[in-house]
Structure 1
Amino acid sequence: MNLKLLFFCLVFAVLLLQVESKQKHKDKNGPPERNGKRGKHGMRDKKRLKYKDIVEDIIFAASLDDDDDDDQGNMDWLLDLQEPEGRCNPNPCQNDGVCEEKGRRGYKCDCPKPFKGRKCEKRPRICRRGKCGRGECVLTSTPPFYECKCKEPFQPPDCKVVAVCEPNPCKNGGQCIQDGNDFDCQCPEGFSGRFCHVGPDDCYVDDGETYRGVVSETDDGIDCLYWNSHFILEGGADPFNSFEDKDGLGPHNFCRNPDGEPRPWCFYRRGRRLLWDYCDVAQCLQTTEVVPTGDPQPTSRPAETTPPTAVVTEKEPAVKPTDPSITPGDPSAPKQFLTCGMPQPKKAFTRIFGGLKVSPGAIPWQVSVQERPKNSISPHRPICGGVLISSCWVLTAAHCIDKSKELQVVMGSLSLDRVEPTAQTVEVESSIVHENYRETPEAVYNDIALLRLKGTDGFCANETQYVKTACLPDAQLPDGTECTISGWGATETSEYGSNHLLEADVLLIGQEKCSEPKVYGKVLDNSMFCAGYLQGGVDSCQGDSGGPLTCKENNTSVVHGLVSWGDKCGSKNKPGVYTRVTEFLNWIKSKMQASP
């Protein structure tokens, strides 16, 4: 067992490395290169689906399979954790189910369609394999809650009949050239794309946040998934509700940039794996206020986990971490850190890798703890996460601290691979490791440390939309509470992980359940607790050591745990183990008050 567990284990790291490494070889600030080989019709050879690829794709099976049923696994342990004491108060029924009390301690949930299950927690897997023959199944907000998008040359409505070039799939006067069961579109001058659907003025401005063109292929020519594809939305989002489109997303597969990437991108699929890549869309030669159009503007689409908020394009200027001219006692000084646990995210969007890509300002208390040898001029290296609890204090895990190194923290930044204008970098003046911290071959005990930041008169970090504090807890929360962990995954024993901050939701697991022999047995004490999912999965493996586990209390984010250790990663009955912050409240306050 690795006592210094580096969340972002192998399964998740391999996926990210594959995606991240691919981006390093791309021009992130300009139009994509167009130097690929050309085929016999003068068009660049790309990784487009051929007839043979479609019929051999396991997802495009021609008939329904028994192995793809609605069973969501044995979740009795989870339902038991969330059992309410008052039967129907609070309402245990999910997805607007109506609770009816039965007997002295029982209840029954009347579930609205299409939900079912003991607590209306199950929904039918609408897009089962083979539902759409040789086509992509997308989710809709109205019955029958799905639609089939056929892969040419298969034809609607069931995507099982083959018809090559009839009707002509090529747009804007393009000529369809048949090659057996495959085809190419020979486009008129100025038009491009597999179906000649991209016009000569289709380009993006700046980072492409306002792009509303119709490019629907990645740089490598892979077809983009529809934004309402079940591969995207069935990972926890509710496809049965709808909301007003704000980021150009909708029931189409056109490239967009809803979350601040350098240029438009889209999701694509490789087998059952969901991936993403930048798109084969050109950057406009001159900055213009004219935004290319061409996609139908939908009035609604299946909801994501969190609907995007209003688009904000302005960037906040870089700020100094410490301004000696401003002191807390100065009545003219700006008020700092008067509240905690109240983020102001710019916009929220789910980049589904088993973890969520964090939007700017959504987790403003997350910091990156970085080290380098003392008296060295070498760059600092990220080793752990941490959480800002006041202008000059950061909580982290004790096992992250090496007294032979000098430390700094970076806050207000989502990326580790580039300097962002919102970032603040502050040196660590001193580190305080808990006196009873110890490691054994089985566990890590009292795994908590405080970092005092360098500053003047109690003023170190500067509060902005991107830098805020998390609240300290008052008491423990009930088992089964859903909380959030976050981190990059780059730690002291591995360089693997994501360059962009990610988050994941986990459930608090009771001490009795976590101390069962098949989980962690008797090694747990009150200084730690478990969170995650006992059936396993990458969700319980995301975040850096020392990073925060925060839970919502009255719409305020409270730090209840610090990422500490675990056995393996994402394995069944091996959830993550976290430092229990409520056990160290007196220690935290005493150290902060004693420090000059």
Structure 2
Amino acid sequence: MSAELDIDDIDISDETANNNYEMVHQCSDLNNETDSEIVNDEIDSENVSAELDIDDKDISDEAVYYNYEMDNCNPNPCTNRGTCNLTESGYNCHCPILYNGTDCEIENNPCKNNPCSHGDCLITIVPPYYKCKCRHPYQPPTCTNATAACDPNPCLNGGTCVPTNGSTLFTCTCPELFRGERCEIGKDDCYTGNGATYQGHVSQTKTGQRCLYWNSHLLLSPRMILQMQRHDTHGIKEHNYCRNYGNDEQPWCFIQDATGRPKFDFCAVACCSQISEDQVSDKESECEDAVIQVNARNNDPPLLRIHQGEKTMIEENPWQASIQMRRRHLCGGSLIHPCWILTAAHCVSDGITESMLKVALGRTYIRRKEGVTFEVERIIVHKSYKVVNDTLYNDIALLKLKDHCAQQSDHIQTISLAENDFRPGTLCKITGWGKNEFGRFENQLKGAKVKLLNKNLCRKPEVYGNLLDDTMVCAGYLEKDSADACQGDSGGPLSCMKNGKHYLYGVISWGHGCGKKNKPGIYVNVTKFLDWIRTYIQ
């Protein structure tokens, strides 16, 4: 990891297809006027050429493609945000601190062997690139040696330390109006609105789990936090207090799940219900409503997702595109060439013209002014695209970006096309801004792992029968409420990894419901359309 890992420099601030059949994997309903789907007007009026450092010379498509093919650093082969440098023999990768290997694919996590015996291992940017945050009464530097449990007194705000079984165990008896493991939570520790300004000391989730530190080593691999900037805006420092980065429903944090991986969860922060005894603000009333809604569904894992997916960042999926119409997210897509987006035909057919569409790249939050927005020069729908018996065949299309091609960065990169089929059982990734399991379009990009399924399994009568052909990939799970793509995710990527590199294997296409039993997602098999794709982008 490089200096972008510095916790003090982290940005922790935070219509088309209205068919008569049920095809809920299709694009967002353009008649839905909800504010949650409207993209900020200002981004569409941005001067794209000003954002792209591209020569204004008249360069032919052939020349652009030729240079692209000859550039061993385009797309960037270096993973984990490594920098690609051209050499006479090809390229080499300059890897961030804590990563090495030919393509920066090897992670050197200094916390891997748990150097902090009774504490949390936190990532730093100076050698040895970690430090231990010890749990009382264990002492630094390695959290091995302990003092007496109650000497010194670990309880805050006048709390009384009571030793329990064992010399290092204790509980705090808190004075009135204080609570928490160490009496650190005061009577005014609550949030208003959605908690965007919350700066309190709650570090526990609604399910009673302890929050991870924001610079925990467990967040190193997914780099959920380490990509962000201006952390002081939302009070994210070297602590594990709940915050509402990303304009979510209420304060949240990361926890460690049963498999040891980080997981998003809402926090047990109280909502400020009153300004005074007889006055309740509108903002706080909304806050109360949000709490009621969350509690009403507390039997479900409180994640915001694709469908049973998790929050992700565009840096993790820099080829992800948002195809937009009338300032609303319509469908997903993948940047497969600096000038071309691959998507689903059903997203851009049925009378849609180039002037109606825009493409946003480099965006994690669909309603924020971030990334770059392009107009569309050309729509190419596969000539054999058709809908038969509620099934989409040859559901693939290309969009050519207008005026300028995309300049690659940490947030915008092309993805290579898979040349061969991946084996059934392979875990691949889907991403998008589509509906979650609560039927809501979310602001932040989401991702989920899905398993490639054997075609014979998916052709069973109780699954999809004889609807599938050889140009389709079946992926997901047969259990109810499993990870799946959903409405608004259409056209987005199904990416699989080989030798540490991502390949575009599928295009999100269709399915019967979202996460329904025996109804996994169906994807266009990109390997079956390689010749068609190359006919246009070469």
What TM-score do the two structures reach when normalised by structure 2? 0.51
Please say if 1:366 is aligned against 2:320.
yes
Distance 1:590 1:583 in 2: 13
| Mapped partners of 2:462, 2:329: distance in 1 | 34
Whether 1:524 and 2:468 are equivalent positions in the alignment is yes
Q: Does residue 416 of structure 2 align to residue 396 of structure 1?
A: no
Closer, same or farther: CA 7–400 of 1 in aligned 2, 3 Å: closer
Corresponding residue of 2:513? 568
The 3 A distance-change label for structure 1 pair 495 and 355 is: closer
1:498 alignment counterpart: 442
Structure 1 CA distance for aligned equivalents of residues 455 and 433 of structure 2: 27
Q: 2: CA distance between counterparts of 1:404 and 1:557? A: 31
Distance across 2 between alignment mates of 1:367 and 1:413: 8
Where does residue 22 of structure 2 map in the other structure? 2
Tell me what 1:508 maps to: 452
Q: Are 2:478 and 1:534 equivalent residues in the alignment?
A: yes
Aligned partner of 1:173 in structure 2 is 158
Change (3 A) 1:390 1:215: same
- Aligned letter for 2:411? Y
1:558 match: secondary structure = strand
In 2, Cα distance between the equivalents of 1:172 and 1:508? Answer: 54
Asked if the contact 1:392/1:453 (under 8 Å) is kept, the reply is: yes
Flag the structure with higher helix content.
2
Q: Flag structure 1 segments of 5+ consecutive residues without an equivalent.
A: 10-16, 22-139, 142-167, 177-182, 229-237, 283-349, 373-379
1:215 matched to 2:202: yes
State yes or no: 1:416 paired with 2:366.
yes
* 1:6 Cα offset (Å): 4.2
* CA 419–383 in structure 1, closer or farther in 2 if over 3 Å, else same: same
2:158 partner amino acid: G
Letter in 2 for 1:172: N
Residue 498 of structure 2 corresponds to: 553
Give distance in 1, aligned partners of 2:345 and 2:24. Answer: 10
1:475 to 412, 417, 420: 420
Deviation at residue 519 of structure 1 after TM alignment: 1.0
Q: Work out the CA distance in 2 between the residues paired with 1:216 and 1:4.
A: 38
Alignment partner of 1:464 is 2:414: no
Call closer, same or farther: CA 1:578–1:281 in 2, change over 3 Å.
same
For residues 304 and 422 of structure 2, the distance between their equivalents in structure 1, rounded to whole angstroms, comes to 28
Q: CA deviation at 1:573?
A: 1.2
Match for residue 309 of structure 2?
355
Q: Secondary structure at the match of 2:428?
A: strand
2:371 matches 1:384: no
Which position in structure 2 is the counterpart of 1:255? 241
Residues 216 and 277 (structure 1 numbering): CA distance in 2 closer, same or farther, change over 3 Å? closer
- How far is the alpha carbon of 1:8 from its aligned partner? 11
**Alignment map for 1:302-381 (pairs within 5 Å):** 354-372=308-326, 380-381=327-328
1:436 to 384, 394, 419: 384
Q: Deviations over 1:85-136 (max 9, x none)?
A: xxxxxxxxxxxxxxxxxxxxxxxxxxxxxxxxxxxxxxxxxxxxxxxxxxxx
Indicate the SS of the match to 2:533. helix
Contact 2:375 2:401 in 1 (8 A): yes
Amino acid at match of 1:518: E
User: Cα distance, 1:592 vs. partner?
Assistant: 1.9
Tell me: CA distance 1:581–1:259, structure 2 relative to 1, closer, same or farther (3 Å): farther
Counterpart among 423, 442, 447 of residue 395 in structure 2: 447
Q: Which amino acid aligns with 1:429?
A: E
Q: If you compute each CA radius of gyration, which structure gives the higher value, 1 or 2?
A: 1
CA apart distance, 1:463: 0.8
Provide Cα deviations, 1:476-533, integer angstroms capped at 9, x if missing partner.
Answer: 1111111000001069xx9832111000000111111111112111111112121001
Matching residue's letter, 1:521: G
Shift of 1:419: 1.4
Q: Are 2:417 and 2:504, in contact at CA under 8 Å, matched by a contact in 1? A: yes
Give the stretch that moved more between structures: 273-282 or 574-583.
273-282
Please state whether the residue corresponding to 1:463 is helix, strand or coil: coil
Q: Distance in 2 between matches of 1:281 and 1:194?
A: 19
| Cα deviation, residue 404, structure 1 | 3.6
Over the residues paired in the alignment, what is the CA RMSD in angstroms?
A: 5.1
Alignment of 1:272-311 (within 5 A): 275-276=265-266
Distance in 2 (CA, whole Å) between partners of 1:185 and 1:194 is: 12
Is the contact between residue 158 and residue 175 of structure 2 (CA under 8 Å) also seen in structure 1?
no
CA distance in structure 1 between the aligned counterparts of 2:439 and 2:358, rounded to whole angstroms: 18
- How far residue 171 of structure 1 moved from its aligned partner, in angstroms, is 4.2
Quickly say closer, same or farther: Cα 1:555–1:351, change in 2 above 3 A. farther
- Partners of 2:203 and 2:242 within 8 A in 1: no
SS for the counterpart of 2:417 is coil
CA distance in 1, matches of 2:347, 2:312: 23
Distance in 1 (alpha carbons) for counterparts of 2:174 and 2:489: 48
Q: Matched residue pairs, number?
A: 328
1:186 aligns to what SS in structure 2?
Answer: coil
Matches within 5 A, 1:37-186: 171-173=156-158, 185-186=175-176
Shift of residue 534, structure 1, vs aligned partner: 1.6
Aligned mates of 2:516, 2:24 — CA distance in 1: 17
Tell me the CA shift for residue 569 of structure 1.
Answer: 1.9
Aligned-pair distance for 1:577? 0.4
Asked whether the 8 Å contact 1:215–1:280 carries over to 2, the reply is no
Tell which has more relative contact order, 1 or 2 (C-alpha 8 A, sep 6+).
2
Judging changes above 3 Å, is the alpha-carbon distance between structure 1 residues 4 and 446 closer, same or farther for their aligned structure 2 residues? farther
Task: Please give the per-residue CA displacement for 1:173-195, whole angstroms capped at 9, x wherever unaligned.
Answer: 2599xxxxxx98425xxx78797
How far has the Cα of 1:412 moved from its partner? 0.4
The C-alpha deviation readout for 1:152-178, integer Å capped at 9, x for no partner, is xxxxxxxxxxxxxxxx998422599xx
CA distance in 1, matches of 2:328, 2:304: 27
After superposition, the C-alpha distances for 1:232-271 in whole angstroms (9 at most, x for unaligned) are: xxxxxx9xxx9xxx989xxx99424597669963379xxx
Match of 1:104 in 2: none
Following the alignment from structure 1 to structure 2, what is the Cα–Cα distance between the partners of residues 381 and 438? 25
Which runs of 5 or more structure 2 residues have no equivalent in the other structure? Answer: 1-20, 38-119, 122-152, 162-172, 213-217, 232-237, 256-262, 273-301
Query: 2:366 is matched by which residue type in structure 1?
Result: L
Q: Provide the rounded CA distance (Å) in 2 between the counterparts of 1:589 and 1:410.
A: 23
Contact in 2 for aligned 1:384/1:490 (Cα 8 Å): no
**Contact 2:482 2:515 (C-alpha < 8 Å) held by counterparts:** yes
- Residue 535 (structure 1) shift: 2.1
Query: 1:572 offset after TM fit, Å?
Result: 1.6
Report what 2:211 is aligned to.
227
Deviations 1:451-486 (A, max 9, x none): 00012xxx4111110000110111111111110000
Give the aligned residue type for 1:173.
G
Corresponding position of 2:357 = 407
Amino acid at match of 1:534: L
State the distance in 2 between where 1:578 and 1:537 align: 19
SS in structure 1 at match of 2:329: strand
TM-score (structure 1 length as normaliser): 0.46
Letter in structure 2 aligned against 1:386: G
Question: 1:197 corresponds to which letter in structure 2?
Answer: E
